[in-house]
Copies of this chain bind each other. A is one copy, B any other.
Amino acid sequence: MLNTIMKKIITSFYCFLLLVLSSAGQQKTLQERLGYSKDTKLLIIHADDLGVSQSENAASIYAMEKGSVRSGSIMVPCPWMGNIAEYARNHPNADLGLHFTLTSEWKNYRWGTVLPANQAASLLNAAGYLYSDTDSLSLNGRPDEVEKEIRAQIERAKLFGIDPTHFDSHMGCLFVNPAYLQILIKLGREYKVPVLLNKEAFKLMYNIDLTKYINDKDVLLDKVFMAQPGDYKKGMSSYYTAVLKSIQPGLNCILLHAAYENPEMQAVTIDHPDYGAAWRQADFNFFTGAECKALLQQQNIKLITWKEIRDKLIRN
């Protein structure tokens, strides 16, 4: 008798499990919600750090117009923001988001907050510049000042005619502290723009369980790739070739940093070979080259922009 009851319970449980799995199976994938088939390999090829220098702006614009890059994000507090903002105004279809900036990592070329310094004291060093590393930020930066500064960056971008297609953050500055991450997610919802979010990378790099902070309306990337110093040393072409060959169906993103290795960029990145001028030139070379274009075609990868995601899924 007990056996029969147990069997019935187990059978019921399996039926329930099957029901759950089958309804999950019926949930549309992101690529389907965007109007593509389930097996589509979607990829955002994204240039970080627009606004940091003339070299970065010019190389990234070239890579977006002539190369395979389709998207980029702007550092509002940086000296060359006005230049990329003019480009944004003249190219309303360009896919330009905001690369929220709470660090200033170069040796002799620094910037502060958009907020008056005395309203963002916890974000600034003794000389009035943003810290050079995210540890100092995370230890000292008061979340209320972080939020005010991020809002100021959004408002300055809007003042300059930029309608951001997405939000992300420079050096992961808003991912290093769960309090900051919640501000980022909240502002993405408020301004109706997608935010760069990926469970795997957040767990691996920032030890953050993203599921705690998101809801089912937030857009999640399935996979994010960014070259690390070891990849650069082995050669960017071989790294990116392997990445493109590994792309699976879903929403993927490559983050890169394109600039010309010229005197300006060499001076910006002096004494800092990681993500330095030569690194950025290598990124530029790969993503403006024929090899990349051919691989994208061979691998049947569909390039997509944050704007398409924003307009189809968030501002629809």
- Decide if A83 touches B108 in the complex (CB within 8 Å): yes
Q: Can you name the residue of chain B whose Cβ is closest to the Cβ of A80?
A: B109
Expressed in whole angstroms, the Cα–Cα distance for A264 and B54 within the complex equals 6
Q: Can you name the residue of chain B whose Cβ is closest to the Cβ of A106?
A: B82
Expressed in whole angstroms, the Cα–Cα distance for A54 and B128 within the complex equals 21
Q: Does A20 contact B (CB under 8 A)?
A: no
Residues in B with CB closer than 8 Å to A111 are 79
Which chain A residues numbered 243 to 293 have a C-beta less than 8 Å away from chain B? 260, 262-264, 267-268
- Decide if B54 touches A82 in the complex (CB within 8 Å): no
Q: Does A207 contact B (CB under 8 A)?
A: no
A selection of 18 A-B contacts at a CB cut-off of 8 Å is: A53-B264, A54-B263, A54-B264, A54-B268, A58-B267, A82-B107, A82-B109, A82-B110, A83-B109, A83-B267, A114-B128, A118-B118, A118-B119, A126-B159, A127-B156, A127-B159, A127-B160, A264-B264
Residues in B with CB closer than 8 Å to A160 are 127
Q: How many subunits of this chain does the assembly comprise?
A: 2
- Decide if B118 touches A116 in the complex (CB within 8 Å): yes
Q: Does A55 contact B (CB under 8 A)?
A: yes
- Decide if B79 touches A108 in the complex (CB within 8 Å): no
Expressed in whole angstroms, the Cα–Cα distance for A21 and B153 within the complex equals 65
Least Cβ–Cβ distance between A272 and chain B, in angstroms: 13
Residues in B with CB closer than 8 Å to A119 are 116, 118
- Decide if A55 touches B263 in the complex (CB within 8 Å): yes
Residues in B with CB closer than 8 Å to A159 are 126-127
Residues in B with CB closer than 8 Å to A260 are 263
Least Cβ–Cβ distance between A70 and chain B, in angstroms: 23
Q: Does A231 contact B (CB under 8 A)?
A: no
Q: Can you name the residue of chain B whose Cβ is closest to the Cβ of A127?
A: B159
- Decide if A267 touches B109 in the complex (CB within 8 Å): no
Q: Can you name the residue of chain B whose Cβ is closest to the Cβ of A159?
A: B127
